[in-house]
Amino acid sequence: MHPRYVLKRTGQMVLTFFVTVTFTFALYQAMPGGPAEAMRAMILAESGQVGGSVNLDLLNQMVEHYANVNPDKPLHVQYYNYLHSLLIQGDMGTSIYQGEPVLDLILQSVPWTMFIGVYALALGYTVSLFLGAVMAYKERSLFDSVASIGVIFLNSVPYYIFAIILVYVLGIEYSVFPINGRYGTFVDPGFTLEYMSSVVRHATLPVVSMGILATGGALTMRGNAIRVLGDDYVRVAELRGLRRSRVAMQYVGRNSVLPLYTQFMIGIAGVLSSTVVVEEIFAYNGMGKLLYDAVLLHDYPVLMGTLLVFTTITLLAIYIADLTYGYIDPRISTGDSNE
């Protein structure tokens, strides 16, 4: 791969990260009445000083303690301090409600969100790719039309409604899967079979409900595969007498999946988005739930921290996708602006 492209792409990533950090800083400043006013009630309630006169200096100090933003200082100093504490000290602020560093809270929940997120992506795309491929092979058959309508219908069901239906049918009516928490209440965390199976069982319904997001890929896959099927090299491969499975996998499959690769990695942004609603429905303590609770409590430092981490994860995923694409699809000369 071209070193210049890697350099350019890395620069782009770093820049995007800085813009996002700046954006969260700007959001603090854009709060009605400024960050001190917006967090005042919350901070006072937590520090037990309801009513009475408020020492403004003390309040500003506390805002700085929680959010790394001191409203007393000039804007550029605030911005410098904000960047400094975030990037050099790794300090994302402190949760007003829980009193713990935001970074700690996030580190505790990130693995769980990534766990269900990655499996949702894997499941959703595997199913939709296979479905799309089969639909393409049986183009214009009954199966194709029924599956197409099915996929269109699934696309019209919001994932959270799907989650609610799953909770009702598989969780409540038939009690096949647990419907809240990350693992059973009476299960001790550890490398035991009981714990592992409990984790998997608790993750099943969230994973399936988020996986539904990826089903739109089936129609794209179908379109790609139909186009590839009409190409000469597929006909040549068939005429050469290659095994059908080999033609299907190496010629048709590979060439119709490749254009979707980057789209998949961007899909992680969608899956991370959906964790906010899905984790709330399943009372699954991950990043999404952390963000949701922070909104209800007006816990702004946690809110900004989770937004930042969500973005960073997506940023890395797309970065990796872009850099590896050249290896996966040798036809693409990376760095061409004519995509």
Partner 1 sequence: MSEADELDFEELFDDTDREPPSRSARLKRTLDLTVLAPLRIAIHDWRAVVAGTILLLYGLMGTVGVWLATKPSSGDHPKLQGPFQELAYPLGTDLYGRSILDQIIYATPDMFRMIFAGAIVAVGVAAVVGLLSGFMRGTPVDAVLMMLADIIITIPGLPLIIVITAIFQPTNPYIVGVFLGIDMWPGLARTVRSQVLSIREESYVEASQIMGLPTSSILRRDVAGQLMPFILVNASLTSRRVIFESVSLYFLGILPFTTYNWGVLMNLAYQENALTRSELLPWLVFPMITIILMSFAFVLLSQAMDAIFNVRLQARHAETIDDKEMTE
**Element (DSSP H or E) covering residue 301:** helix 300-328
Q: Dump the DSSP string for 234-260.
A: HHHHHHTT--HHHIIIIIIIHHHHGGG
Please identify, using beta-carbon distances, which residue of 80 and 153 lies nearer to partner 1.
153
Q: Is 269 in the site for partner 1 (CB under 8 A)?
A: yes
Please report how close the Cβ of residue 165 comes to partner 1 at its closest, in angstroms. 8
Q: Are 133 and 143 in contact (CB under 8 A)?
A: no
Q: Which stretch binds partner 1 (CB under 8 A): 107-115, 160-168, 252-260, 325-333?
A: 160-168
- Cβ(317)–Cβ(302) below 8 Å: no
Q: Which of 66, 276, 284, 334 binds partner 1 (CB under 8 A)?
A: 276
Binding mask 19-48 for partner 1 (x = CB under 8 A): xx--x---x--xxx-----x----------
Per-residue interface string for the shown chain with partner 1, residues 296-325, x marking contact by CB under 8 A = x-x-x--xx-xx--xx--xx--x-------
C-alpha distances (whole Å) from 99 to each of 88, 129, 167, 217 are: 21, 46, 33, 43
Which listed range, 41-49, 55-63, 226-234, 263-271, lies at the site for partner 1 (CB under 8 A)? 263-271
At 133, the amino acid letter reads A
Give the interface segment with partner 1, choosing from 80-88, 107-115, 200-208, 265-273 (CB under 8 A).
Answer: 265-273
CB of 308: closest distance to partner 1 in angstroms? 10
Cβ–Cβ contacts within 10 Å for residue 39, how many? 26
Question: Which residue, 200 or 266, has its beta carbon nearer to partner 1?
Answer: 266
CA atoms of 322 and 325, how far apart (whole Å): 5
Distance of alpha carbon 11 from alpha carbon 326, whole angstroms: 18
Please select the residue that binds partner 1; options are 54, 56, 107, 152, rule is CB under 8 A: 152
Q: Which of 157, 176, 320, 328 binds partner 1 (CB under 8 A)?
A: 157
Q: Which of 266, 283, 320, 328 binds partner 1 (CB under 8 A)?
A: 266
Torsion sign over Cα 305, 306, 307, 313: positive
Q: Are 200 and 107 in contact (CB under 8 A)?
A: no
Based on the shown chain and the rule CB under 8 A, indicate whether residue 258 belongs to the binding site for partner 1.
Answer: no
DSSP string over 42-79: HHHHHTT--SS---HHHHHHHHHHHHS--TTS-HHHHH
Q: How far apart are CA 207 and CA 192, in angstroms?
A: 22
Buried (b) or exposed (e) across 272-292, using 16+ Cβ within 10 A?
bbbbbbbbbbbebbbbbbbbb
Under the binding rule (CB under 8 A), the answer on residue 14 touching partner 1 is no
Closer residue to partner 1 (CB): 87 or 157:
157
Q: Which is nearer to partner 1, 83 or 316 (CB)?
A: 316
| Residue from 42, 118, 123, 164 in contact with partner 1 (CB under 8 A) | 164
101 three-class SS: strand
**Does residue 146 bind partner 1 (CB under 8 A)?**
no
Residue 77 interacting with partner 1 (CB under 8 A): no
- Using CB under 8 A as the binding rule, the residues of this chain from 199 to 238 that contact partner 1 are none
Tokens found for residue 78: 């605030």
Give Cα separations from 314 to 141, 142, 212, 257, 277 (angstroms). Answer: 39, 39, 19, 21, 18
Q: Is 175 in the site for partner 1 (CB under 8 A)?
A: no
Residues that bind partner 1 (CB under 8 A): 12, 15-16, 19-20, 23, 27, 30-32, 38, 152-153, 155-158, 160-161, 164, 167-168, 172, 266, 269-270, 272-274, 276-277, 280, 288, 291-292, 295-296, 298, 300, 303-304, 306-307, 310-311, 314-315, 318, 337-339
